[in-house]
Each structure stands twice: as structure tokens, then as C-alpha cells.
Amino acid sequence: MQALTDNFGRRITYLRLSLTDHCNLRCRYCMPEEAHGSGRVGRLTEEETVRLIGLFARMGVDKVRLTGGEPLLRRDLVTLAGAIAALPGVRDLSLSTNALLLEKNAAALAAAGVRRLNISLDSLHAERFADITGGGDLTAVLRGIEAARAAGMTPIKLNMVALNGINDDEITTMAEFAQARGLELRYIETMPVGGQGEWSMRHHLPAEQIMARLQRHFGSDLLPQHEGAGGPARMYRVGARGPRIGVISAVSRHFCASCNRVRLTAEGDLVLCLGNEHSVSLREPLRAGMDDAALCGLIRAAILRKPERHDFNAPQAAPLRPMYALGG
């Protein structure tokens, strides 16, 4: 079947699938303090989800990331992951998680076909971790990481949102933590979506400053890598055999020209760009009985609406969706 290509010649091969907008943490850059969540009523069922991902896979999407919200809150996660991994065309299934519930699920997820894992970890100090995440238990996350390693998942990437005046003194210790365990590490610049008021932008640490600190600490051991070219991360290796580390800057550095991804929310909205409210609901036509060919046509037409680039500073017709709702 013909590949999915947008109006700017970009081939869409990567889908981020949000399985829920609920979370068991309240990271301050991501979630409002008060409870929220759209409930299960509007959420795509397991069967609807697998059918839609199958259509994307037929049109050339070969990489799927399960995310949220916190995907481990879905009781059907393991069967859903297994069904998606088994779809013809899907060659790479990964999961983003805060790892709070990972310890008891890692082996089953690995067996279901989830090989690659991204784990959020912003601090190695228990109290600070709890403060950033709204009460998270660091020891549970560390046990989750060990369970994933024991299950043979690889690569395991840690995502650290670097926050000025909050955890920036841990930028290099996190690299050493990752190095000691054979993990990869990404430092993430905060984006102006979601979160508690102005908190995340108040503590915004530009990627240039993250890199300057790494360069000061590791000196000539910090070797630029070219494998990451095209994606949102600038990649380095610490020493010839050390861990790969990357700095992700969605705001201060555009990576839109090579963007190959779209997002599907738990309610079935196909979201074409992080920084623009361009979305198309797939749930209603699906539930109205639309057949596969017509759904593929709808998806193709939606992809043509993918904007050339994000602009977080431009006035938006509607507020941007936070990462927990979008599938970060």
C-alpha cells in the first residue's frame, strides 16, 4: 500500500499512541495539581486500537511507542502490546513510562514484544523526586529499572527533564548513574505545554546550557555522534565505549524538517503536531462503521494537514494539549 506522506514530502513512519491521559504521578512540568482525566467512556477499546494501528502499519508506520499519561495504568497493557507487536509491518514497539508499576510488569511486557523502554527519572534524591513528581516513590522506580534490565529490555533510556534551580546539579551524576548500568540518557528541555502554571517555564533550562555543563564536566570525553541526526536529540557518547547521551530541545531547536511522527490520543484523535492543535477524530467514523479503505483515506487526508513546523509562541486557536493528553 502507498506510504503515508505529508504535503512537505515527509514520510510518516512513527506513531505515538497514548493509552490513557490518567497518571499516578503529578510531575510539575506536566500535570495540573488537581485531579483530571477524561474517563474511560470515550477511550478507544483494545480492539479499536489494534484495528487502527493495523491500518497505520499497512500504510508504512513501522514504529509504535506506547505512552500516555501512564500506560502501565492500563490493565490490558500486556495483551494490547502483544497484539500490536504481532501486527504485520510493526517492527519496533516501545514504551514510555514513569516505571512506578514496572517492577511486576517488565518480564511480561518484554515477552509481549516491548523491547525498548523510555523511563522518566528527574532526580536520584528521594525527597526531590517526590517534590518534582507530586509524591513519587523513587525506590519503586529504581526497582522498575532493575526489573527491566533483568528482563533483557534494551536499550533502556532515561529521560531527565532538566530544571534550572531544581535538579540541574544532577545533570552529570545522572550520566554517571546511567553509565554504571549501561543505560542511555536523554536530557529534555521543558516545553511550554501543561504543567502547573508558569512553573516549568520558570525553571526552563535551555539545551545550550545543558550541553555547556556536560562539556565542562566531561571535556574531550564527550564525543558528538551522528547517528541521532534527524531526530530531536543531539547525541553524544561519553568516551569511545561510554553510554549514549542526548539533549532534546523541542523549543530552542526545530527538528520539524525531518519529523516522521504523529500521535493518536486515547480517545482516538489523530494529532499531527505537538505545537499546533491540528487533529482529526478517528473514533467517530470508526464507531459509525467506516470500512478499512475509507478509514485509510481519512488518515491520508489528515496527514496532508500536518503543519510544516511547530510554533509554540504563535497564537493558537485553542490551547495546546498537555503532554499527558497527547502522548508525550
Residues of this chain that interact with ligand SF4 (CB under 6 A) are: 23, 25-27, 30-31, 68-70, 98, 120, 324
Measured at CB, which residue is nearest to ligand SAM? 328
Binding residue (CB under 6 A) for ligand SAM from 20, 94, 123, 200: 200
Q: Interface with ligand SAM includes 129 (CB under 6 A)?
A: no
Residues within window 250-289 making contact with ligand SAM, judged by CB under 6 A = none
Please pick, from the candidates 4, 15, 19, 30, the single residue that binds ligand SAM as defined by CB under 6 A.
Answer: 30
Q: Which long-range contacts (CB under 8 A, 24 or more apart) does 82-85 make?
A: 82/112, 82/113, 83/46, 83/50, 84/17, 84/49, 84/50, 84/53, 84/113, 85/112, 85/113, 85/114
Instruction: Identify which of residues 191 and 210 has a Cβ nearer to ligand SF4 in the complex.
Output: 191
CB-based contact 145:156 (threshold 8 Å): yes
For residues 242 and 228, give the distance between their C-alpha atoms in angstroms, rounded to a whole number.
16
Which position among 112, 148, 158, 191 is part of the footprint of ligand SAM (CB under 6 A)?
Answer: 191
Are the beta carbons of 108 and 74 closer than 8 angstroms?
A: no
Neighbours of 128 (CB within 10 A): 16
Tell me how far, at minimum, the Cβ of 187 lies from ligand SF4, in Å: 15
Report the nearest approach of ligand SF4 to the CB of residue 205 (Å): 16
What residues contact residue 313 under an 8 Å CB cut-off, 6+ apart? none
For residue 15, the one-letter residue type is: L
Residue ranges binding ligand SAM (CB under 6 A) = 23, 29-30, 67-68, 70, 96-98, 120, 159, 161, 188, 190-191, 193-195, 200, 323-324, 328
